Amino acid sequence: MRPYYVTTAITYPNAAPHLGHVYEYIATDAIARFKRLEGFDVRFLTGTDEHGLKMAEAAAAEGVSTAELARRNSDVFQRLQERLNISFDRFIRTTDPDHHEASKAIWQRMADAGDIYLDTYSGWYSVRDERFFVESETRVLDDGTRVATETGAPLIWTEEQTYFFRLSAYTDKLLAHYEANPDFIGPEVRRNEVVSFVSGGLRDLSISRTSFDWGIPVPDHPDHVMYVWVDALTNYLTGVGYPDTDSELFRRYWPADLHMIGKDIIRFHAVYWPAFLMSAGIELPRRIFAHGFLLNRGEKMSKSVGNVIDPVSLVERFGVDQVRYFLLREVPFGQDGSYSDEAIITRINTDLANELGNLAQRSLSMVAKNFDGIVPAPGEFSADDAELLAIADGLLEQVRAHFDGQAMHLALEAIWLMLGAANKYFSAQQPWVLRKSESESDQIRFRTVLYVTCEVLRIAALLIQPVLPESAAKLLDLLGQPADQRTFAAVGTRLAPGTVLPPPAAVFPRYQTP
């Protein structure tokens, strides 16, 4: 089995999870599940970034220890992922002992390469973004507050002795890597942003702090803690056994195939991270993909505006698979997208209940009623049958290409276009009329139409598994498919006539507004 290593960004657990976190988890999970169904040996890493000034300040505001806040809130994030059916292999926390070892090891490698030196830093710092800004990247509001122009976060003036990383030495090496590996950063709009930023020249990066102590101590200099991003980015290495580069885990899974992140942290992942790895003599990840933001009716979600959507209540209201489907179908992945109650209800009732659920219910009920729940043997396929089967047979190749390009919305669109064609076919063939006919040829036709409909439903059910795992499993149960016939290798093996089906049941009920 070929290995495939995929990661989400690790989240700051300084506040409750929001829909943006859920969006990234579900998208990455769908990719991990897709690769498993293709026969890959997948390792899927996610977790929380428990260090940094932001966490220390949040804990102080609550009157609890930072370690207690980190543990409590990380538990909330992990439980949410489990509730969303996220199939991670490890939920890492940057307070994990093996992560401390990995972070110290990469620091030492960068120091040994001559890329770390001690100096004094003075400049503007955003606690919210855990990021430094130069004067030209800031502006002053009417009330005198200085904020980051890009993010709007308030800034504090910081002066302290810190270690620096010689990021400036990696400008040309990074640009050469981007040019030699055009797929390293996606989508293209983000790649162009990064290339433009690096082309302007890079300044050395402050990578330690002495003004607080919640973090990983710098080797041999415990009065310094590592800048949170040095520690955070290293989690991707910790997740595969670093610093033991001879371990089976590391040799098998590194370099990572895909880092899935939000567009707001592209600079850390596509500039700082590859530079750190180059310095440490470690192979670079193969691809970094930055998705867009999820908005509430076109507005960015924020606690101050009061439009933050609680993911747990959303799942309780609509269902896990319904939320998973909506988020990946509604938004062109990589762009910003918008959530509204009306939009999710439309997707549930139109796509899931009508197009898929209703077709399954009608066809499987006919098999149950007329053939004692046994898949009928088809006659010779007509041009209409062959056309629909050809569309379904061609889906796996299309869906694979879309998933490999992180375009899950296009993969789902292709499947639902086939289901639309299947619904038209079912209506045009009028099996309910054929059933009543006494003609032998009509009876053969009746069996054939039901067989073809069940077969294309089987292919659809196989292909929607990464996005709708629970619902797809129920549909495959209803189609009498054994556990060993549920990977993508089974797509090309036709539904066997004579397969005994269980009593039909609704898979996707319509959503009724309470």
Query: What is the chain's length?
Result: 514
**CA atoms of 400 and 493, how far apart (whole Å):** 18
pLDDT in tens, 97-143: 999 999 999 999 999 999 999 998 888 888 888 788 888 899 999 98
Q: Are 23 and 335 in contact (CB under 8 A)?
A: no
Q: What confidence tier does 309 reach under pLDDT thresholds 50, 70, 90?
A: confident
Residue-wise pLDDT tens digits, 257-296: 999 999 999 999 999 999 999 999 999 999 999 999 988 8
Q: Give the other-Cβ count within 10 Å of 385's Cβ.
A: 22
Cβ distance 24 to 262 under 8 Å?
A: yes
The topology under which CATH files domain 115-209 is Methionyl-trna Synthetase; domain 2 (2.170.220)
Q: Does domain 3-108+229-291 sit in CATH 3.40.50.620? A: yes
| C-alpha dist (Å) from residue 441 to 438, 444, 462 | 9, 5, 32
Sequence ranges of the domains in the chain = 3-108+229-291, 115-209, 350-500
Alpha carbon distance 281, 277 (integer Å): 6
Would you place residue 246 in the very low, low, confident or very high pLDDT band (cuts 50, 70, 90)? very high
Question: Of 350, 359, 357, 295, which Cα lies nearest the Cα of 327?
Answer: 295
Task: Report the percent of the chain where pLDDT is more than 90.
Answer: 81
The stretch 212-230 carries a mean pLDDT of 90
CATH 3.40.470.10: does it fit domain 350-500? no
| Closest to 207 in 3D by CA, of 330, 110, 295 | 110
Q: Tokens in use for 68? A: 């207690």
Segment 67-92 shows an average pLDDT of 94
Q: How far is CA 78 from CA 16, 71, 94, 169, in A?
A: 12, 11, 14, 39
CA distance 281 to 174: 14
Q: Which two tokens stand for residue 431?
A: 């099996």
For the segment 464-469, the average pLDDT, to the nearest whole number, is 98
Instruction: Using the structure block, give the residue that is written with the tokens 């590859």.
Output: 274
Cβ atoms < 10 Å from Cβ of 447: 22
Q: Are strands 156-165 and 337-339 parallel, antiparallel or unpaired?
A: unpaired
For 278-281, the CB contacts below 8 A with 24+ separation are 278/170, 278/173, 278/174, 279/109, 279/110, 279/113, 279/115, 279/165, 279/166, 279/170, 280/106, 280/109, 280/110, 280/113, 281/109, 281/113
Which pLDDT value is given to residue 304?
Answer: 58
